Amino acid sequence: MHLINFKDLSGQQLMEIIDKGIDIKHNPEKYRTILDSKSLAMIFQKTSTRTRVAFEVAMTQLGGHALYIDWRTTNFALADISDETQYLSRNVDCIMARLIKNVDLQSMAKASRVPVINGCDEKYHPSQAIADLITMKEKKGTLESVKLVYIGIHNNVCNSLVEGCTKSGVKITTVTPIFNEPSRDNELLENAKKTGLWETTLDIRKAVQYADFVYTDTWIDMEFFQDSKFDAEKEKRIKLMMPYQINNELVKESNAYVMHDMPIHRGYEISADAIESPKSVIYEQSKNRLCSAKATLLKLLEKY
């Protein structure tokens, strides 16, 4: 079993991962040696703080070992991805990869003899969504009929939230004036629509009114953030998206918790006052990447 997105997981299986994550968070000693002698290869084509740290610390705290591999310093950069994966998967027990293109991740999964975890590509960010669902369940005690409003660009994080929420009983409203076309997955959106749990609107104030959580993410994909070729698009997006910033004025009449998957661009998708307000669960949410990583690894390595 791989974790590329949530398509191959039933709602029940996803709930098992969320509940396992919460159990591991509160009872870490129960799991100290469960991955004894297991190795995880972590391959990165892009930058990361949380995904790298969460999976590496997860392996250490579960009794196993993680190898950080920068794509550019390996022969993945030179050779066929399938051949390199054939080799790699004969030496490790699991692979976590943050690749630029989902098509490459699919090739890796096809060639691998061991589970492959998507550490974020242009279409999906499933390990982030698991941490987000854990955060919501911890705060509300249940996911059933909890209301999440995602405000920003419809991107990889948004796709995984739509898929994860609609599979776990969360009502999700997306307020996304821009659709990041490389992220588009019509099948995922059609499936979400059929559940009746996903709706989309541009009426940000109405959407926020009854929200339990409001969530935002970067307006620019990480690989383009410091790319001067993307400057014009960046300016265009900032102008169009500023009215959709999460700030204290927007949530002043709401009891909603504020979420962000980080890294944060202060003053753009979210204001400093919203990040630091008592309603913010952002840092707790990022901490939950660790128990999310542990629960995902144990699921894929068939430990429950």
CB of 143 to ligand CP, least distance (A): 20
CB of 128 to ligand CP, least distance (A): 5
Count of residues engaged in binding ligand CP, rule: CB under 6 A? 9
149/155 Cα distance (integer angstroms): 14
For residues 190 to 229, the per-residue mask of contacts with ligand CP, x marking binding by CB under 6 A and - elsewhere, is: ----------------------------------------
Q: Which stretch binds ligand CP (CB under 6 A): 7-15, 49-57, 80-88, 144-152?
A: 49-57
- 50 near ligand CP, rule: CB under 6 A: yes
Which residues partner with 159 through β-bridges?
none
Closest alpha carbon to 134 in 248, 290, 242, 302: 290
- 263 near ligand CP, rule: CB under 6 A: yes
Q: Of residues 13, 39, 48, 248, which one binds ligand CP by CB under 6 A?
A: 48
- 57 near ligand CP, rule: CB under 6 A: no
CB of 110 to ligand CP, least distance (A): 24
Q: Of residues 85, 118, 128, 216, which one binds ligand CP by CB under 6 A?
A: 128
- 85 near ligand CP, rule: CB under 6 A: no
Q: Which residue is listed with tokens 């660790």?
A: 290
DSSP class of 246:
B
Quick check: 240 and 191 in contact, CB under 8 A?
no
Residue placing its CB nearer to ligand CP in the complex, 84 or 261: 261
List own/partner pairs for 66-70 with CB under 8 A and 24 or more apart: 66/39, 66/40, 66/41, 66/42, 67/39, 67/40, 67/41, 67/42, 67/92, 68/42, 68/44, 69/41, 69/42, 69/43, 69/44, 70/44
Q: Which residues contact 290 (CB under 8 A, 6 or more apart)?
A: 25, 53, 54, 57, 58, 61
134/70 Cα distance (integer angstroms): 29
CB of 193 to ligand CP, least distance (A): 26
Which residues partner with 118 through β-bridges?
97
CB of 4 to ligand CP, least distance (A): 16
Q: Which stretch binds ligand CP (CB under 6 A): 22-30, 44-52, 69-77, 137-145?
A: 44-52
> Residue numbers of the site for ligand CP (CB under 6 A)?
48-51, 120, 128, 261-263
